[in-house]
Amino acid sequence: MVTASAGRGPIAAGTGAEGDGAGPPPLSLYIHVPWCIRKCPYCDFNSHAVPAGEAIPEEAYLDALIGDLESTLPAVWGRTVRSVFFGGGTPGLLSGRGVARLLAEVRARITLEPGCEITLETNPGALEEGRYAAFRDAGVNRLSIGVQSFDDASLRRLGRVHDGGQAERAIESALRSFDNVNLDLMIGLPDQAETAAHQDVVRALGFGTTHLSVYQLTIEANTVFAKFPPRLPEEDVVARAQEEIDGLLAQAGFEHYEVSAYARSGRRCRHNLNYWTFGDYLGIGAGAHAKISLPGGGVRREERFRAPDSYLRNAAQGRFVSQRRTVAADDLVFEFALNAFRLRDGFAPALFAERTGLDPTKFEPGLREGVRRGLIARHPGRIAPTGLGMRFLNDLQALFLPAGEGGAPEPAADS
Ligand code: SF4
């Protein structure tokens, strides 16, 4: 089975994460599947409950995705794809046959690099466990499971459709078909006991998966939790839990390589690394976002029609993109910082100019101010957030906002 491979320490040239500096950035493909069994009360993703008793319109949606991909190909002629990610929603609601058809259609239109990482997100209790082997046979080589917790009471309070036993069975089933599996866990859950997050991680470790993602629950606007806020643990309780989890995972041999991501050696998520190193990505499907570097310089961002009905209706007319814009140079500086400083090991100094096409002096004011405040360190061959910088990441990233919006001021011409 083809597996992910990414280097230890700062992402080294040759792993594909940073590229060789020549030509356009690495390219990934994101495929959005916008349906779930039920909408979770904390979720602000573009996900929609499948109406009771109905099936998702799989064939029509696959046709739309293929048309969507075709429409976007002229922007990336001659380029190859290094990772594919089925995200959602719950892509595991697709049939194995549907995933196989889609991947065959993708391969017929664009070259996937040898060893291309192909991830599919699933959720326990989504009736999809019987499909895992079919997903593998279709070409998927990495599974990501939305476990969130093994504690039944926590899962109920989160409005999840599964319980702890179903989560365990889903993981066991996944490991029978895949040797590269990520588990998503959440901490800071409503009424969560102080030790419960730690216990969830211990249980997750027991399965021996290659990757863990540990997110803190945040209350997002326009969610049920925003309207009816649950009682969340105090910040310092969550911070202590996070510290304990970091220690536990380090002891277990996991590399904490990004704010929320922990991987066994060589199993960092290549797809997400491409986002964090400001690579390019095509995004197809309802509400999907794309970022494409333009041949003459600059970056274009696109968003697809968001609601599934609207996406399908427009797709039937050959329209997919609802918004398209070229990113202003000042915004590119901030967008680069927003992504790259999530990486604990940092990035090569040349990456900024490579990925943005901007003069490195554009990055200097924020960098200098970050170093002055102890948030950023310059090491030989890399720039990285310090421990303080990781803790106050929002403050660090804000240094790269355009001057006047909170960013560090541009130096005077003679400074
Ligand atoms: S399963 Fe995931 S994507 Fe679906 S509603 Fe819940 S949190 Fe959102």
Percent with pLDDT over 70 in the chain: 91
Q: Which two tokens stand for residue 409?
A: 């001021």
Cβ of 161 closer than 6 Å to ligand 1, yes or no, is no
Cβ of 88 closer than 6 Å to ligand 1, yes or no, is yes
Distance CA 203, CA 201 (A): 5
Percent with pLDDT over 90 in the chain: 86
Q: Which two tokens stand for residue 254?
A: 């996991």
| Structure confidence at residue 338 (pLDDT) | 97
Q: Positive or negative, the Cα torsion across 208, 211, 214, 219?
A: negative
| Structure confidence at residue 294 (pLDDT) | 92
Confidence of residue 80 (pLDDT cuts 50, 70, 90): very high
Over range 342-357, report the average pLDDT: 96
Lowest mean pLDDT among 17-21, 168-172, 201-205, 327-331: 17-21
More confident residue, 193 or 154: 154
Cβ of 39 closer than 6 Å to ligand 1, yes or no, is yes
Q: Tell me the CA–centroid distance for residue 378 and ligand 1, in Å.
A: 39
| Structure confidence at residue 55 (pLDDT) | 92
Q: Positive or negative, the Cα torsion across 83, 85, 45, 189?
A: negative
Chain-centroid distance of CA 55 in Å reads 27
Same-domain status, 221 and 367: no
Q: Are strands 181-187 and 299-304 parallel, antiparallel or unpaired?
A: unpaired
357 part of a folded domain: yes
Residue 208 has pLDDT above 50, yes or no: yes
- Which H or E element spans position 81? strand 81-88
CATH number of residue 44's parent domain: 3.20.20.70
Summarised one tens digit per residue, pLDDT across range 107-126 is: 999 999 999 999 999 999 86
Over range 128-137, report the average pLDDT: 88
Which residue's CA is minimally distant from atom 6 of ligand 1?
Answer: 40
Residue 283 has pLDDT above 60, yes or no: yes
Same-domain status, 340 and 254: no
Confidence of residue 194 (pLDDT cuts 50, 70, 90): confident
Summarised one tens digit per residue, pLDDT across range 64-76 is: 999 999 999 999 9
Cβ of 46 closer than 6 Å to ligand 1, yes or no, is no
CATH number of residue 365's parent domain: 1.10.10.10
**Among the listed residues 216, 214, 209, the one whose alpha carbon sits nearest the alpha carbon of residue 253:** 209
| Structure confidence at residue 324 (pLDDT) | 97
**Among the listed residues 349, 250, 402, 308, the one whose alpha carbon sits nearest the alpha carbon of residue 64:** 308
Same-domain status, 245 and 388: no
Same-domain status, 156 and 255: yes
**Which residue among 48, 90, 160 has the greatest number of ligand 1 atoms within 8 angstroms of its CB, and so is best to mutate?**
90
| Structure confidence at residue 255 (pLDDT) | 98
Average pLDDT, the chain: 91
Q: Tell me the CA–centroid distance for residue 308 and ligand 1, in Å.
A: 15
Cβ of 36 closer than 6 Å to ligand 1, yes or no, is yes
**Which residue among 36, 144, 149, 185 has the greatest number of ligand 1 atoms within 8 angstroms of its CB, and so is best to mutate?**
36
Q: How far is CA 336 from CA 351, 358, 382, in A?
A: 9, 11, 15
| Structure confidence at residue 185 (pLDDT) | 98
Q: Locate the ligand 1 atom nearest the alpha carbon of residue 123 and give its number.
A: 1
| Structure confidence at residue 297 (pLDDT) | 84
Cβ of 376 closer than 6 Å to ligand 1, yes or no, is no
298 and 274 in contact (C-beta within 8 Å)? no
**Structural domains in the chain (count):** 2
Q: Positive or negative, the Cα torsion across 42, 46, 51, 56?
A: negative
311 and 305 in contact (C-beta within 8 Å)? yes
Same-domain status, 228 and 120: yes
Q: Tell me the CA–centroid distance for residue 338 and ligand 1, in Å.
A: 24
Q: Locate the ligand 1 atom nearest the alpha carbon of residue 126 and give its number.
A: 1
Over range 26-30, report the average pLDDT: 98
| Structure confidence at residue 14 (pLDDT) | 34
| Exposure of 82 in the CB half-sphere (CA atoms within 13 A) | 23
Q: Tell me the CA–centroid distance for residue 415 and ligand 1, in Å.
A: 50
Q: Which two tokens stand for residue 175?
A: 């490991």
Over range 23-37, report the average pLDDT: 96
Same-domain status, 241 and 347: no
Confidence of residue 413 (pLDDT cuts 50, 70, 90): very low
- Which H or E element spans position 36? strand 35-36
Cβ of 90 closer than 6 Å to ligand 1, yes or no, is yes
Same-domain status, 270 and 375: no
Cβ of 97 closer than 6 Å to ligand 1, yes or no, is no
Task: List Cβ<8 Å contacts ≥24 apart for 316-323.
Answer: 316/64, 318/67, 318/71, 320/64, 320/67, 320/68, 320/71, 320/72, 320/284, 321/71
Q: Tell me the CA–centroid distance for residue 185 and ligand 1, in Å.
A: 13
**Among the listed residues 271, 216, 218, the one whose alpha carbon sits nearest the alpha carbon of residue 245:** 216
| Structure confidence at residue 22 (pLDDT) | 67
Residue 51 has pLDDT above 60, yes or no: yes
**Which residue among 32, 33, 45 has the greatest number of ligand 1 atoms within 8 angstroms of its CB, and so is best to mutate?**
45
**Which residue among 123, 149, 154 has the greatest number of ligand 1 atoms within 8 angstroms of its CB, and so is best to mutate?**
123
Summarised one tens digit per residue, pLDDT across range 229-262 is: 999 999 999 999 999 999 999 999 999 999 999 9
Same-domain status, 51 and 156: yes
| Structure confidence at residue 231 (pLDDT) | 94
Q: How far is CA 139 from CA 106, 266, 334, in A?
A: 11, 20, 36
Same-domain status, 113 and 214: yes
| Structure confidence at residue 19 (pLDDT) | 53
Same-domain status, 241 and 387: no
Residue 144 has pLDDT above 90, yes or no: yes
| Structure confidence at residue 59 (pLDDT) | 97
Confidence of residue 8 (pLDDT cuts 50, 70, 90): very low
102 part of a folded domain: yes
Q: Tell me the CA–centroid distance for residue 46 and ligand 1, in Å.
A: 9
15 part of a folded domain: no
Residue 109, SS3 per DSSP: helix
314 part of a folded domain: no
Confidence of residue 396 (pLDDT cuts 50, 70, 90): very high
Residue 17 has pLDDT above 90, yes or no: no
Same-domain status, 139 and 264: yes
Lowest mean pLDDT among 53-67, 275-289, 397-411: 397-411
Same-domain status, 215 and 346: no
Domain of residue 341, residue span: 330-398
DSSP string, 224-275: HHHHSPPPPPPHHHHHHHHHHHHHHHHHTT-EEEETTEEE-TT---HHHHHH
Place of tokens 């990501």: 144
280 part of a folded domain: no
Cβ of 146 closer than 6 Å to ligand 1, yes or no, is yes
Q: Are strands 142-148 and 181-187 parallel, antiparallel or unpaired?
A: parallel
**Which residue among 33, 38, 39 has the greatest number of ligand 1 atoms within 8 angstroms of its CB, and so is best to mutate?**
39
**Residue 15 DSSP one-character state:** S
Residue 240: Cβ within 10 Å count? 15
